[in-house]
Amino acid sequence: MQRIASIAAMVDQHASDAAFLWFRRRREIDGPILGETDIGRIDQRLNANLEGLMASGKAGWEAAQAHFADYAEPGELFVLGVLALRWGEAEAVASAVDAAATLGEVGVSGLSGAIARTPRENLSPLVAEWLDARDARLRGLGLAALWHHRVDPGARLGDLLSNPDPDVRRRAFRLAGGLKRRDLLPAVLDGLDGDTSRERLTAALAACLLGETRSANPVLDRIVLAEPDLAAAAIELRLLTTPLKTGKAWLQERLKQPALRATATAAIGLFGDRSVMPWLIAKMREPDLVFAAGLALRDLFEVDFNDFDLFTTDPSLLGKDFESLNETPLPVADRVAEWWDEGRGGRNHALFHSMRRLRLDALRAALAEPDAPLTDWRRTRRFPAWM
């Protein structure tokens, strides 16, 4: 990188804005609120700031380093990673990898995001080196690159599925399932007995994508019962791979369990059955279920709820019993009831697919077609930031 004349305040602002925009993108990329156009606008602004840093040369790198030194967070690491990988200088890449190590698992996430935004030609020499490394973190980064760019490493993937490190195996299972590597199904099924719950969940997803739901579903059931942090993902996959009638009965049993009541309520919209609306509106009046009911509502309708005044970010608006809630936005039951009674779900509205809907549709398509790989649902439309 070269020393290029630049305005320090502008370079510093580029580094700050890029970290913030990526953090917001990461938070919303698989969520139910923003769609591909919204994410595309964030991307437009993010790319502009990254290009500003790239054009600043060494001053851009120093600004990114300074921000990470002050705020050692995934967003700041992402900026470091993008610059290092775009320039391709060994010392800069090593610096970004070392910085990631100080953040643990979230550090890998930040570098994974940087890898996703790096052209394949920049990554090719690095990926080969990473996959051969003894360091499990580097192997994980190599697998992240293969995943983001949907590259099949051939016979090498089988070796990675039996790696001693559970995180390396987990990433390898994800890739094997997404690429529909049916030749690796025996190794994927072995992963259902993996060392960690996250590894078992990812192996279950891979098994389902490879057509072996019968073996995966008991594993998902155990995760739902024993792992609160993974229960939502496990319930989602369980319902996507279970016939409708059986799935409704299965979820009904989880609704009866106090520990799973909220998580199960949030998943009820996956059935697409709008006859549940009166029940769902009633749950919006319960403080412990209001947020979950709002998530289910968003799954039921292909509507941009940002165009309707049905949600609030002020819990106190819902009453004294709701004031202590931290999760927002929350549906306002009376407004939702009126909207439902008047138009049965907002007639004459523009079709809207949230990023969550795009992810679910990609999963459904890959589960339905034995040979269809899991598509990249995170593609976005590029719109000028001022639109």
Residue 201 counted as domain residue: no
Give per-residue pLDDT as tens, 336-366. 999 999 876 556 677 899 999 999 999 999 9
pLDDT in the model for residue 5: 43
What residues have CB less than 8 Å from 64, skipping those under 6 apart?
15, 53, 76, 79, 80, 83
* pLDDT at position 383 over 80: no
What is the domain extent for residue 297?
A: 266-369
Predicted local distance difference test score (pLDDT) of residue 1: 59
The CA distance from 251 to 235, in Å, is 8
The answer to whether position 151 is within a domain reads no
Does residue 170 lie in a domain region? no
> Over the stretch 266-323, which tens digit does the pLDDT of each residue have?
999 999 999 999 999 999 999 999 999 999 999 999 999 988 899 999 999 999 999 9
Does 7 reside within a domain?
yes
Domain end residue (candidates: 118, 152, 179): 118
Residue at which a domain ends, from 96, 118, 140: 118
Q: Band of the pLDDT at 126, cuts 50, 70, 90?
A: very high
- Looking at residue 209, its pLDDT comes to 98
Q: HSE of 231 in the Cβ direction (CA atoms, 13 Å)?
A: 19
**Residue 225, in any domain of the structure:** no
Residue 81 resides in a domain: yes
Question: In the prediction, which pLDDT does 103 show?
Answer: 92
Averaged pLDDT of the chain: 93
pLDDT, position 343: 73
pLDDT over 90 at 247, yes or no: yes
Res 384 pLDDT > 60 = no
Closest by alpha carbon to 288, among 330, 231, 239, 228? 330
Which of 61, 91, 118 is the last residue in one of the domains?
A: 118
* Residue 147 placed within a domain: no
Q: Tell me, what's the pLDDT at 387?
A: 39
Considering its fold, how many domains does the chain have in total? 2
Residue 83 lies inside a defined structural domain of this protein: yes
**Cis peptide bond N-terminal to 329, omega within 30:** yes
- Give the chain as a 3 state SS string: CCECCCCHHHHHHHHHHHHHHHHHHHHHCCCCCCEHHHHHHHHHHHHHHHHHHHHCEHHHHHHHHHHHHHCCCHHHHHHHHHHHHHHCCHHHHHHHHHHHHCCCHHHHHHHHHHHHCCCHHHHHHHHHHHHHCCCHHHHHHHHHHHHHCCCCCCCHHHHHHCCCCHHHHHHHHHHHHHCCCHHHHHHHHHHHHCCCHHHHHHHHHHHHHCCCHHHHHHHHHHHHHHCCCCHHHHHHHHHHCCCHHHHHHHHHHHHCCHHHHHHHHHHHHHHCCHHHHHHHHHHCCCCCCHHHHHHHHHHHCCCCHHHCCCEECCHHHHCHHHCCCCCCCEECHHHHHHHHHHHCCCCCCCCCCEHHHHHHHHHHHHHHCCCCCCCCCCCCCCCCCCC
How confident is the model at residue 6, as a pLDDT? 64
Between CA 253 and CA 248 the distance in angstroms is 9
Closest CA to 43 of 96, 82, 2: 82
- What's the whole-number mean pLDDT along residues 89-116? 93
Of the listed ranges 158-172, 245-259, 277-291, 345-359, the one predicted with least confidence: 345-359
